[in-house]
């Protein structure tokens, strides 16, 4: 009998909260050793690592600004040193600053673009250099690129750029056996989505979905697990995981 293959290794940015946390748990269930990335919430990342390791899995916490190429190099280095390489990079870190285009503070615009565009570029650049054959990069867009709701112009612009980076990188990695895709969630019941919205707005958005509910972080984690696992023939795509919203 041949020896058991080494476990696959993943790094999830924004892994300490919301959708990222659900992704970490789902990939751990699939047996991946994981780097749980955080920006500011180290305690949450450490608790998630403890949860995984106490259940027999392997995980470490890594921090850093996703838009800082030096910090991300250190994070990737730490995961490689701990587990011997990287096979899956899920870039779930991002920010949202709603506001009408006519009135949005340009400092908010700069923060959105730094985190969501530069951050994606930096993380994808590291992943493209480091992932082993058979690897997967999963970025995050949004279904708002189709629905065009008011007050999300800057956010949607940043996520349209994420889609462009995703589609181009998939083609640049020709011949390396690495897939690159993006997940575009619809309305998901996380603090990022719920904060600042009253019950009427939330109810209307839930009713707009043919499945008549908000999505859960676990719904998105299943989509990510599909792309990170069996979906080797899905490449250079944006998957709208939104219950049929658009």
At 1 the pLDDT is 41
Query: Is the pLDDT assigned to residue 212 strictly greater than 70?
Result: yes
More reliable by pLDDT, 70 or 188: 70
At 160 the pLDDT is 98
pLDDT tier, 149 (very low <50, low <70, confident <90, very high otherwise): confident
At 5 the pLDDT is 58
Could you say which DSSP state residue 136 is in? E
Query: Is the pLDDT assigned to residue 4 strictly greater than 80?
Result: no
pTM of the predicted model as reported, rounded to 2 decimal places: 0.94
Query: Is the pLDDT assigned to residue 184 strictly greater than 60?
Result: yes
Phi, psi of 22 (to 5 degrees): -65, -35
Please give the CATH architecture assigned to the domain spanning 9-186+217-240.
3-Layer(aba) Sandwich (3.40)
Cα 50 to Cα 13, 23, 43, 45, 165: the distances in Å are: 17, 16, 10, 9, 34
- Annotated catalytic residue: which of 155, 156, 163, 228? 155
More reliable by pLDDT, 70 or 149: 70
DSSP string, 4-73: PPPPPEEEEETTTSHHHHHHHHHHHHTT-EEEEEESS-HHHHHHHHHHHHHTT--EEEEE--TT-HHHHH
| Per-residue pLDDT reduced to its tens digit, 219-231 | 999 999 999 999 9
At 158 the pLDDT is 98
At 148 the pLDDT is 84
Query: Is the pLDDT assigned to residue 2 strictly greater than 80?
Result: no
At 202 the pLDDT is 80
Across 9-36, average pLDDT: 97
Query: Is the pLDDT assigned to residue 196 strictly greater than 70?
Result: no
Cβ atoms of residues 15 and 40 within 8 Å = no
Angle at 225 between CA 220 and CA 226, to 5 degrees: 100
DSSP string, 64-133: --TT-HHHHHHHHHHHHHHHS---EEEE---------TTT--HHHHHHHIIIIIIHHHHHHHHHHHHPPT
Q: Is 152 part of the annotated catalytic residue set? A: no
| Per-residue pLDDT reduced to its tens digit, 75-107 | 999 999 999 999 999 999 999 999 999 999 999
At 105 the pLDDT is 98
- Spatial separation of the C-alpha atoms in residues 138 and 5, rounded to whole Å: 23
């Amino acid at each position: 009998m041949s020896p058991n293959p080494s476990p696959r290794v993943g790094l999830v940015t924004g892994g300490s909260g919301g959708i990222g946390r659900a992704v970490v748990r789902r990939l751990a269930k699939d047996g991946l050793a994981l780097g749980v990335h955080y920006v500011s919430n180290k305690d949450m990342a450490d608790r998630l690592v403890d949860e995984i390791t106490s259940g027999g899995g392997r995980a470490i916490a890594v921090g850093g600004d996703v838009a800082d190429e030096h910090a991300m190099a250190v994070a990737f280095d730490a995961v490689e040193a701990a587990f011997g390489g990287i096979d899956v990079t899920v870039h779930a870190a991002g920010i949202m600053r709603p506001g009408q285009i006519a009135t949005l503070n340009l400092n908010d615009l700069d923060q959105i673009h730094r985190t969501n565009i530069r951050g994606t570029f930096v993380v994808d650049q590291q992943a493209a250099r480091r992932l082993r054959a058979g690897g997967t990069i999963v970025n995050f867009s949004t279904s708002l690129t189709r629905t065009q709701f008011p007050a999300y112009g800057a956010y949607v612009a940043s996520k349209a750029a994420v889609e462009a980076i995703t589609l181009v990188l998939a083609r640049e990695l020709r011949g390396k056996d690495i897939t690159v895709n993006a997940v575009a969630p619809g309305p998901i019941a996380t603090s990022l989505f719920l904060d600042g919205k009253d019950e009427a707005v939330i109810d209307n958005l839930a009713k707009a979905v043919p499945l008549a509910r908000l999505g859960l972080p676990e719904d998105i984690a299943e989509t990510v697990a599909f792309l990170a696992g069996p979906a080797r023939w899905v490449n250079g795509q944006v998957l709208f995981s939104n219950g049929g919203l658009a």
